[in-house]
Structure 1
Amino acid sequence: GTLPTGATCTDGIQNQGETGIDCGGPCAACPPPTPAAVPTAPDGDTFSIYDGNLPGDNTSYSMNWPYAYEFGAPPTELDLDSGTDVNGAWRFNFGTAGYGQGEGPVDVSTYDTVSFDYYAAPATAGTAGFRFVMINNGAEYNYEIGPGGTDQEPIVVEQWTRVEIPMTYFTGLGFDASAFFQWKFDPYMQSIDNKIYVFVDNILLTRNNALTVDSFDTAEFKVFPNPSNSNWNISSNATISTVKVYDILGKQVSSMTPNSNDVNIDATNFKSGIYFAKIQGETGSKTVKLIRQ
């Protein structure tokens, strides 16, 4: 939107409603206090779309996305490392437009997972989200991250969050992994007046290591009772390392580290509504919807 009279985002001073120096308020969102973690996926098992960890080069992997063109509103690249190293991230203003790149088609059928890290600033009004889209044969296949109960996972604000999407999710929708043509991030449930800034890093396609196949992806979960007016019980045939519960606005309201197959979540102090539990195992994560009566 239009800046208020007298507002400036380039004077090196925190003023005119800014929440940081030349950021926040009427200006672009302030950057995260720390960068996303540097990825540890093996070079030979990784296809990098974006990974801002080397000066002058957006990838630290030998296999990368040599895009031929881009479309939409290009993000701003920022170095979030406070020292002499470089750890870049893209800042998207989804109140303006989405952004994507095209190339190929490229055969990515040997990769098992699509992943990225994001840090979302709170929406300027109400709630908003975004979607990651894989494209080929003129069709788009969406993975939506937002505040609604029908999204693939809930949006989390003001902390780095890792998204891991099995390639089978996209191929199950009809995506042809042998002819990867374009990708993009798009606004979701947003407008100019209800927008979010999102920082994104480490957009990667990876192969599962043959010795550590992701059994968590096929793990079975039981949540009971659901809806509940007191507690939820989560039972699984896989070990649960951590459970983080978020409300519909993406605020974390509970966290625990059970390291067991069974978890009890105390909801007695929760308000009625929809919540999301992000369940982390040793080899992956799942998100389940919880209803508090």
Structure 2
Amino acid sequence: MKTKLLYLFITLFAWHSNAQVISMIGSTSPSGSWSVDTNMNTTDNVTYTLNNVTVTTATDPATTGLKFRQDGLWTNNWGNANFPSGTATLNGANIMTVAGTYDVTFNRVNGTYTFIPSGFPSIGIWGPAVNSQLGYGAPDVDMVTTDGITYTLSGFYFSSGNCYFRQDNATTNQWGSTTFPTGTAVLNGPSLFVPGGEWVVTFNRITGAYSFDYNSVGILGSGLNGFNVADTDLTTADGFNYTLAGLALTTGEVKFRKNNDWATNWGAAGFPTGTGTQDGPNIPVTAGTYNISIEIPGGNYVFTNTLSTASTSMASVKVYPNPSASVWNISHSDTISSVQLMDSLGKVITSYAPNATEFQVDGSGLSAGVYFVKITAGLDFAVQKIIKN
């Protein structure tokens, strides 16, 4: 018996000695100081929480706000200007808090964080769609609310899979449904299947109404109506390829951005085509009327003057079968000069130079999920979403 107790003590001591300490620090944090940490709590060394935390309003992004950091060291700190939720990055921007009392959650592995006003129930999304590895064994991904009724989640990439909405991490308070992208979830209803991708999710805790919407992508700048006005939104049918027809521009500069927020924006020096990058330079444009397209998250964009004739039509590109368990066939009426296979974040996995009108992409070694192929023919390109079963 003594041996077992000694072993348990050693195991617990080893776990605590190896556990990382995560804290909040900053001028708007509970300590009100950039030199005093407020430690958070954890049961798994991944998700850290602290309830009834009072923060103040951040006014200057250079000097105010707060951050998360590990073991009291600035070598491991995370931030993102977004509030009340976002995905913090290593050495990222200060979190621009708004005064209030919150229940705070931070995930040390993927950087996601939420500030939920204290006193409101927490609502999370739970299941393989939000954690393809651990599934229902993983913690919820918390949504954000300002009134305790309507909850939202954005900036999160879902895997293809099932999930539930649930309250306070309790299986006794979970909602489900069979309809996507909108519907009314019912208590103890069936699990909801969500296709992989980035969705803006809204859930009403009282009525159960929910929606999964595509992100908005807009364009703005001095070549349009200025940088301090509302975006002119593009349209999308798949959440990846966005288009806008017949937009009149003056000579000047523009940028693309997501959800009317500078936290995610694309720019580059190239015109009429280019690959926009996060916080890249403004895009120089010349006066004219254009059909505009951009694919996200890769950032490839095209401005086509409506008075000119495109050299190649990409409408005849075919990718099949899709979804597929092994290979995708690509065909086009013109010679395909290059094919890039990308992951869901736009990172290039493999590049090909077919120089043929037909080509086959082998996906047998890929994990199940959402990918993209960028197909270039002549001066034109198209990006299509593909799904690996």
- Specify if TM > 0.5: no
Over alpha carbons, which structure has the higher Rg?
2
TM range (shorter): 0.3 to 0.5
TM-score of the superposed pair, with normalisation by structure 2: 0.34
Higher relative contact order (CA 8 A, sep 6+): 1
More strand by share: 2
TM-score of the superposed pair, with normalisation by structure 1: 0.43
